[in-house]
Structure 1
Amino acid sequence: MTMKKKLSLKESAELLKILKDRFEKNSNRHEGIEWNKVQAKLESNPEKLWSLNEMEQTGGEPDVVNYDKNTDEYTFYDCSAESPKARRSLCYDRQALDTRKENKPKNNVEDVAAAMGITLLSESEYRELQKLGNFDTKTSSWIETPAEIRKLGGAIFADFRYGNVFIYHNGAESYYAARGFRGALKV
């Protein structure tokens, strides 16, 4: 069974209204970017609009944070104040989930992100996000882990405390109620 990755006209209209309202309320995140151009790009990419809806439905509050003139792409990040609530209590990847013996989490961040059509924020993207506000002041978010760290059994996560971004490590099989993940989507 393949999953439908297209919204109905009604769902699309509702999501575009939510995104436009958020865009207008948070103009500091995307100075110089015009909503009508973002909307046109979204309307011509229904699968990307579907992914943004997945981000929205899981509590991510996606918003435009960048436009790349060279690739003609807008970048959306999860901009919820805390790590998206419906994406918490997940270990890092399939390998970590498979090797965990007891009290397995329901899933892992890499598989959930892939199913949503988004990518995990990298460390540099996470730091860029933090320039737009204070995110993860009570929670933390798994971020893309370099292969050399993952090969040793670890994974990295980040948060914002004491006026600073902190990058930490943990075993990839760990999971916590206050740790989720933030995603990025290029349209």
Structure 2
Amino acid sequence: MTNSHQITFSHEEREELLKILKTRFEKNMNRHDGLEWAKIQEKLDADSEKLWSLNEMERTEGEPDVVGHDKTTDEYIFYDCSAESPKGRRSVCYDREGLESRKKHKPENNAMDMAGAMGIELLTEEQYRALQNLENFDMKTSSWVQTPVDIRELGGALFCDYRYGHVFLYHNGASSYYGGRGFRGSLRV
């Protein structure tokens, strides 16, 4: 999770973020039919760490939005809803091991460490497919998704995109990175 020294942003930044999130929420009711912004904001106001994570999602151009509500835990679920894989999170290997295995042309970071530092999780394949049921995303880019241990132990990692009216799941070496591949995150508040 995040370090407490990172969770500092001004009152003005906080208010600006809440305004952005509320506007996005109201413009995209198809993503969260039946949910009320006031209840979501109440949760956000009570958890500055989660609000900071949403700020990081926004800062890296993920355009986070509410995609559901878990009634069992009373948590609201945010996913990155940018049309393409977030610009501020592209050109990264899957994880630290993949990054460290590169002999040359290493990217600056990796998806798993970035997500951890932001206090979010990479989408799973199931979550990615659920997101695509709301709208079409990643029609030009692709996004790393959580990779099962057995695949990762063999050096691979998984990513998805949306082409030809379908979600595609692919594999690549975890050390690979491309300008058009980033990652989408999820956060429960």
The two structures have a TM-score, normalised by structure 2, of: 0.97
Equivalent residue for 2:55, pick from 49, 53, 56: 53
- SS class of match (2:172): strand
Query: SS where residue 131 of structure 1 aligns?
Result: helix
SS at match of 1:90: coil
Counterparts of 1:151 and 1:4 in 2: how far apart (Å)?
Answer: 32
How far apart, in 2, do the equivalents of 1:137 and 1:82 lie?
Answer: 7
- 1:150 matched to which residue of 2? 152
Q: Residue 28 of structure 1 corresponds to which residue in structure 2?
A: 30
- One-letter code of the match for 1:29? R
Tell me if structure 2 keeps the 8 A contact 1:6–1:47: no
Which consecutive unaligned segments of at least 5 residues does structure 1 have? none
Measured against aligned partners, the alpha-carbon deviations of 1:72-101 in whole angstroms (never above 9, x if no partner) come to 100000000000001000000010111110
1:3-152 superposed matches below 5 A: 3-152=5-154
Aligned length: 187
Task: Kindly report structure 1 stretches of 4+ aligned residues shifted beyond 4 Å.
Answer: none
Partner of 2:188: 186
What code does the residue aligned with 1:47 have? E
Q: TM-score w.r.t. structure 1 length?
A: 0.98
One of 161, 164, 187 as aligned partner of 2:163: 161
Partners of 2:24 and 2:83 lie apart in 1 by 13
For the residues of structure 2 that align with 1:175 and 1:4, how far apart are their CA atoms? 27
**Separation in structure 2 between the aligned mates of residue 69 and residue 32 of structure 1, nearest angstrom:** 13
What's the offset of the Cα at 1:172?
Answer: 0.3
SS of residue paired to 1:3: helix
In structure 2, the gaps of 5 or more residues are none
Task: Report the CA distance between 1:2 and its aligned residue.
Answer: 6.3
Inter-partner Cα distance in structure 2 for 1:169 and 1:25: 34
Could you list the per-position Cα deviations for residues 99-149 of structure 1 after superposition, in whole angstroms to 9, with x for gaps in the alignment?
110100101000000000000000000000001100000000000000000
Question: Identity over aligned residues, as a percent?
Answer: 66
- Secondary structure of residue in 1 paired with 2:51: helix
CA distance in 1, matches of 2:4, 2:67: 31
SS at match of 2:73: coil
Q: Distance in 2 between matches of 1:123 and 1:103?
A: 28
